[in-house]
Amino acid sequence: MSRLRRVARSPWVRGGFVAVALVAAVFAVWLSWADVQEALTRLDRALVVAALVVAPLYLFTTMAAWRVVLADLGSRLAFRDAFTIFFVSQLGKYLPGSVWNVVAAAEMGTDHGVPRRRSLTGMAVALLLSLVSGLGLGVVGLLLAPTEAKDRFEAAVWLLPLLVVLALPPVVNRLVGWFLRVLRRPPLEHPLTGRGTLGALAWSMGGWALGGLQVWLLAIATGMEASIWSYLVCTGGYALAWSLGFLFVPLPAGVGIREVVLVAVLSAALDQGGVLVVVLLSRVILTVVDVGFGAVATLGSRRGARAGSARVGGS
C-alpha cells in the first residue's frame, strides 16, 4: 500500500494523469466538431453565448457542494485550493470509469492537509447527493416527457428511494464507519451532519437549475417555445441524463448515455435535428469549460508549488 501511495504521489504520475485526461477530453470535443460548426451557423449566437456564460456557474455549484461536504467532515479549504483540487481531479471524468476523479481528488487533497479517507468520503457523499437530487428532478422531467421516454427510463425512478435512504447522514456515517473498519483505517473525526447535507443539497439543486438553464437556452435557439414547462422539461431531462450517465460506469463522463436520455426527453418539444444540435452543443460547451478550468487550476497549482519552493530555498 505504501508503494502504491508513493507512485500515486509522484509528480510524473500526476502529470501523466492530467495529460491523458486532457487528451481524452479534447478528443471528445474533436469527435463532434463538424456537427458543432454546422449547428453554430444555424443558431442564435446570443443564446449560445448566454449558454456559455451559464456553464461555468453550473460547474462552480458542483464544486461548492463538494466543498460544503468536505468542510462538514472537518476540512475547510480556501476557495483557491478547492478550485485547484476539484477541477484538476474532474478531468478524470473523461477516462473510462467513474472513479478516477475521486482518486485524483484524494491524492491532491493530501497536499492541503486533507486525509485521504476524508477526501474519498467527501467526494463520494457529494456525488451521492447529486444523484439523489438529480434523480428527483429527473422524475419531474419524466412526468412531462413523452410516453416513450417514460417507458424507457421509468426504472430509474425506482432507484430514487434507495438513494434517498443512503444519503441520510446516520446511514452515510454508518456505511463509512463500516468501510473504514474493513480497511483497518481509523474512523472519521467529524461525522456528516444534517446541516452539511442540506447545504450540499441546496448547492446541488442550484446546479441542476443552472444546468437545465443552459440546455433550455440552446433549445430555445433551435425552436423550442420559451415557457416554464419547457424549462422544467430541460432541467429534469438534463438531471436524469447526468445521473444515468454517471451510473453507467464503463463510459467516460457518461458519453452516449446522456445523449440518449436527452434525445428521448426533449423530443416532446423539438424535432430530431434540433434535439441533436442541443445535445451536441451542451456536451461540447461543458467539456470545453471543464478543460479550461482544469488547465487554469493546473497552471495555478504549478505556480503555487514553484513559489513555495522558492520561499523554502530563500529561507
Residue 49 CB neighbour total at 10 angstroms: 11
Instruction: Please say whether the beta carbons of 71 and 77 come within 8 A.
Output: yes
Q: Is 199 helix (H, G, I), strand (E, B) or coil?
A: helix
pLDDT at 308: 44
| DSSP letter, residue 225 | -
Residue 16 has pLDDT above 50, yes or no: yes
Residue 272 pLDDT: 65
Kindly tell me if the per-residue pLDDT of 179 is higher than 60: yes
Angle at 260 between CA 254 and CA 263, to 5 degrees: 130
Model pLDDT, residue 314: 46
pTM of this prediction exceeds 0.85: no
Question: What confidence tens digit (pLDDT) does each residue in 190-247 have?
Answer: 888 989 999 999 999 999 999 999 999 999 988 788 888 889 888 988 888 888 777 7
Residue for grid cell 523554502: 312
At 76 the pLDDT is: 92
| HSE value, Cβ hemisphere, 13 Å, CA-based, for 124 | 18
Higher pLDDT, 140 or 248: 140
Length of the chain counted residue by residue: 315
Please report the pLDDT score of residue 129 as a whole number.
87
